[in-house]
Structures are given as C-alpha cells and as structure tokens.
Structure 1
Amino acid sequence: MILYGIPTCDTCKKALKALQAAGKEVTFRDVRAQPLTTAEIEAITHEFGDRAVNKQSTTYRAFNDFLKASDIEAQIAAQPTVLKRPIIQNGTTWHLGWDAATEAALTA
C-alpha cells in the first residue's frame, strides 16, 4: 500500500497512523521530496480526473492563469502539493481522501 501525500498534512498523518495501527504495511510517499513520475501522474489522473486537484487550496489559488488553464497533469507536475490528500494506492484499488468509508475499507 502506498500513501501519497506530504508529511505536514494532518489528514495524511491521521490516515498513516490508522493504517499502521490496523497492521497494514504502508509506504509513505512524500510527493514534495520525491516528485511523481509521469506514469504516476497519469495513473492518478486516469483514476480521479480533475478531482485529484484541490482547487480550494492556497497552492491552486496561487497558480497563474496559464497554469490554471493547463491540464491536470501539468498542474500536478508543476506543483505536486496541489493534490488532494491523501491518495492511497492499495494494489489496483485507489482511494482519494480520508473519510469513514475509506478508513473502513482499508483498515478492515
């Protein structure tokens, strides 16, 4: 299982802690320190589309008009912290965010 996020994100910390407490083997992937590959960005955007980008974030709001008009892949490549977090890959299954349903599905 791979958890994509940043170490300062409270939701990522909460998800990581819950998954580890449930005995899951989780690899934390800091998208700022280890930028996503083109293939990873494509997989995420294929799975979630524009939902993968947090348009309410200060990162997104700071984008210039050109970058806001660019495709999702370009936005994520330019600034990986614009991703909604966490993104969790569990084999071939993907989860976006951390809510009760995601927690139930992954910690059972």
Structure 2
Amino acid sequence: MEFYGYKKCSTCRSAYKHLQEGGIELEFHDFVVSPPSALTIKSWVDVYGQGIMPFVNTKGTRYRELNLANQNLSEAMWLDLLSKDGKLLKRPVLVTDGGVVVGYDKAQYDRLIGRG
C-alpha cells in the first residue's frame, strides 16, 4: 500500500502508525515535499468516484490564503493546483489494491488490518 501525507501532520503520523501497528507495510510519500502528478491524482479521483472535492483540503491555510472557496474551478484546474501544492491535498491518502481512502478513517483502516 502507498500512504500519501505530510510528515509534519499529526493526523498523518497517527494514521501511518495505526496501519503499521496493524501489520500493514506502507510506502510513505510526503506530498508536500513531492506532490503527486495530476495524472496520479486523477487516477485516485476516478477510483474514489466522488469527484475532485474530497481530495481538496478545504480546511487548510493554503486553501484560505488562495481564496479558493470563492473560485469556480474545473477538475482540470484543481488537478493542476493539487499537483503543484501538496498542502492543498486532503490528507492522508491511502492507496490500496482495492481502492483509495481519503482522510484518516479509523473504521476503514481497521477493516484493512482485519479488525473490522
């Protein structure tokens, strides 16, 4: 599994630790240091099936700084922004063989571990 997050984010650290303690092997990608490509993000959006907005960190400082709440951006524009600024991505993003988990969803993580 691949884990995308931000090393300085306490939620990301907790989510990563939760999975590791459950015996899940992960590859950590810090998407603030190295944001995923627009093509990679698009593949997540397609698998997740709920559009681009679940991947946008609407509670983040960068979102507010750029006044993105008042913008009417297309999916292509969002993909471009997200691929250039990892702080705009909701975190963490967990990519599994069966799909994508956006945010720290303990119940889904426990199902992946086999506890649920």
What is the identity, as a one-letter code, of the residue corresponding to 2:60?
Answer: S
Indicate the residue corresponding to 1:21 in structure 2: 21
Secondary structure of 2:109's partner? helix
The partner residue of 1:78 within 79, 84, 88 is: 84
Larger displacement relative to structure 2 (69-78 or 12-21): 69-78
The partner residue of 2:55 within 44, 52, 57 is: 52
For residue 64 of structure 1, report the CA deviation from its aligned partner. 4.9
Secondary structure of 1:88's partner? strand
For residue 91 of structure 1, report the CA deviation from its aligned partner. 1.3
Indicate the residue corresponding to 1:94 in structure 2: 100
Cα distance in structure 1, aligned partners of 2:25 and 2:95: 12
Consecutive unaligned residues in structure 1, runs of 5 or more: none
Q: Give the TM-score, by structure 1 length.
A: 0.85
Q: Deviations over 1:12-42 (max 9, x none)?
A: 1011111111111100011122221232121
Q: Give the TM-score, by structure 2 length.
A: 0.80
What is the identity, as a one-letter code, of the residue corresponding to 2:95?
Answer: Q
Indicate the residue corresponding to 2:66 in structure 1: 63
What is the identity, as a one-letter code, of the residue corresponding to 1:105?
Answer: R
Consecutive unaligned residues in structure 2, runs of 5 or more: none
Indicate the residue corresponding to 2:36 in structure 1: 36
What is the RMSD computed on CA atoms of the aligned residues? Answer: 1.9
User: Percent same amino acid among aligned pairs?
Assistant: 29
What is the identity, as a one-letter code, of the residue corresponding to 1:5?
Answer: G
Residues matched between the structures, number = 107
Secondary structure of 1:16's partner? helix
Cα distance in structure 2, aligned partners of 1:84 and 1:11: 11
